[in-house]
Amino acid sequence: MTQGPSVPVPVIAARHDKIPSHEGAQRANNRHSTLGVFGRAERQRGSAVTPRSFDPSAMPTVTMVGGGQLARMTHQAAIALGQRLRVLAENPDDPAAQVSPDVVLGSHTDLTALRKAAVGSHALTFDHEHVPAEHLAALVAEGVNVQPPPEALIYAQDKLVMRTKLAELGLPVPAFAAVAEPGDAVRFGDANGWPMVLKAVRGGYDGRGVWMPESAAAATEIVTDQLARGVQLLAEAKVPLRRELSAMVARSPYGQAAAWPVVETVQRNGQCAVVIAPAPDLSDELATGAEALALNLAEGLGVVGAMAVELFETTDGRLLVNELAMRPHNSGHWGMDGARTGQFEQHLRAVLDYPLGDTTPLAPVTVMANILGAQQAPAMSIDERLHHLFARMPEAKVHLYGKGERPDRKIGHINVLGDDVAVVREKAERAAHWMSHAVWTDGWDPHD
């Protein structure tokens, strides 16, 4: 059993002002010398200017492995930057495959498909972390610019490796232990208290791959079943939880880093339902500590791109690291409308070694609410629901993923900006509930 310390984390500032040192800086310098200080082509009086057409082939191509909603929203950011996002998708109707003009159909577990998707790309990055490590090592050996690099990504792929590394670094984590047989879980629960937490070491999301047995008998049953299925397990102490937080940062290859405000994530049935940015009533000490922890982790692990550090805030005022995601993340969706630079654009900037963007919030409060599939899909179409939502709440920003409706599936999200946390949250949750169920929580009838 291992327990990471819970001492305060040293505070460092977000390094928005760090000057690029290689290709990103050279690109910026070249652009500056050509365009002048105001970004316009400098002209001498009376000189002729030869028009230059836009050449898409001169702009970088980024390959994203996975065709889900994260790739879809990264594609939107790539359009704004004049870049091309190639998607490795398993199906032509995957969310990103619906919108990207450059789709390679294939599995993330197929090295041949990965190689095909990587041809001609300036960087290869991820919609999810499930690509086999040996495939990534092969791509790197062949000269593919994999970002984040495999030696960093492993800490988001394997929870036991991550927990062990963070404990070695002296960072705060819950007590944990590897589980090789049922007795390991029983001994851990007896030592740390019941209920305890069992997690699949690899995979698992939105509550999947997590169990909370309340007794030795329940733990034995879960471990026996999961080990028989080939699932490697990790035991963790159940912490006295006040709430869950997320510290989102981005880092470029030469070490420039930027952080967004620490947010609160509201979980329901093990799934993120609401994100409040910034986290309300979070002390300055914990906010700066969480940001510093995330920035230090990104640097220490060699992360390139966006990274979310999921955190527990305990009832006695400590921060513990829960999980890492080295890609755009649900807890960062608020920034699409609520920050000067959102996570999808920032991720592209980072993996391409561009200088990073300003992460300043655009409003005192932004609340993101996920649109989840209802237990029974409403008879009203999504398009009609959208029409009624805009008629009643024109300030709501809606992002739909092109996914079919099924129970508890994330099919989109809504961002609402404002000044008062309670008011903004109520609006966002009301709008998301309407889009899920075609029912207004306050009883309002769109046909009255």
Q: Using the predicted structure, report yes or no on whether residue 204 has a pLDDT greater than 90.
A: no
> Where does the chain hold its CATH 3.40.50.20 domain(s)?
61-146
Which fold, 241-437?
D-amino Acid Aminotransferase; Chain A, domain 1 (3.30.470)
Banded model confidence at residue 166, pLDDT cuts 50, 70, 90: very high
Q: Using the predicted structure, report yes or no on whether residue 142 has a pLDDT greater than 50.
A: yes
Is 397 annotated as contributing to ligand binding?
no
Count CB neighbours of 6 within 10 A. 17
Q: How far is CA 360 from the centre of its chain?
A: 18
Is 323 annotated as contributing to ligand binding?
yes
Would you state the pLDDT for residue 444?
87
Would you state the pLDDT for residue 167?
95
If you compute the radius of gyration of the chain from its CA atoms, what whole number of angstroms results? 23
Q: How far is CA 252 from the centre of its chain?
A: 16
Q: Using the predicted structure, report yes or no on whether residue 30 has a pLDDT greater than 50.
A: no
Is 403 annotated as contributing to ligand binding?
no
Cβ(211)–Cβ(198) below 8 Å: yes
User: Mind listing the pLDDT tens digit for each residue in 355-400?
Assistant: 999 999 999 999 999 999 999 999 999 999 999 999 999 999 999 9
For the domain with range 175-237, which CATH number is right: 3.30.70.890, 3.10.20.600, 3.30.1490.20, 3.30.160.250? 3.30.1490.20
Is 221 annotated as contributing to ligand binding?
no
Is 405 annotated as contributing to ligand binding?
no
Would you state the pLDDT for residue 10?
35
Would you state the pLDDT for residue 50?
60
Q: Using the predicted structure, report yes or no on whether residue 63 has a pLDDT greater than 80.
A: yes
Locate 186 and state its tokens.
């029983």
> Where does the chain hold its CATH 3.30.470.20 domain(s)?
241-437
CA distance 359 to 346: 9
Look at the block and give the residue holding tokens 């009533």. 281
Look at the block and give the residue holding tokens 């007794």. 215
Least confident segment among 5-9, 153-157, 330-334, 411-415 = 5-9
What are the residue ranges of helices labelled H in 302-374? 335-338, 343-351
Would you state the pLDDT for residue 1?
57
Would you state the pLDDT for residue 49?
56
Banded model confidence at residue 245, pLDDT cuts 50, 70, 90: very high
- Calculate the alpha carbon distances from 200 to 7, 110, 274, 353 in Å: 27, 23, 24, 34
- Calculate the alpha carbon distances from 38 to 32, 87, 301, 356, 358 in Å: 9, 35, 38, 19, 19
Count CB neighbours of 446 within 10 A. 15
CA distance 317 to 239: 12
CA distance 70 to 16: 25
Banded model confidence at residue 207, pLDDT cuts 50, 70, 90: low
Q: Using the predicted structure, report yes or no on whether residue 43 has a pLDDT greater than 80.
A: no
Look at the block and give the residue holding tokens 């610019």. 145
- Report the sign of the C-alpha dihedral through residues 69, 79, 350, 291, in that order: negative
Banded model confidence at residue 55, pLDDT cuts 50, 70, 90: confident
Is 322 annotated as contributing to ligand binding?
yes
Is 285 annotated as contributing to ligand binding?
no
Across the chain, mean pLDDT equals 90
Locate 326 and state its tokens.
């080295």
Nearest to 347 by CA among 311, 303, 291: 303
Would you state the pLDDT for residue 39?
32
> Where does the chain hold its CATH 3.30.1490.20 domain(s)?
175-237
CA distance 438 to 448: 15
User: Mind listing the pLDDT tens digit for each residue in 295-348?
Assistant: 999 999 999 999 999 999 999 999 999 999 999 999 999 999 999 999 999 999
Would you state the pLDDT for residue 270?
86
Nearest to 239 by CA among 283, 195, 179: 195
Would you state the pLDDT for residue 40?
31
Banded model confidence at residue 53, pLDDT cuts 50, 70, 90: low
Banded model confidence at residue 44, pLDDT cuts 50, 70, 90: very low
- The domain made up of 61-146 is a member of CATH 3.20.20.100: no
Vertex 391: Cα angle to 390 and 392 (nearest 5): 90
Pairing between β-strand 257-259 and β-strand 233-237 as defined by DSSP bridges: unpaired
Report pTM.
0.87
Look at the block and give the residue holding tokens 């966002």. 428
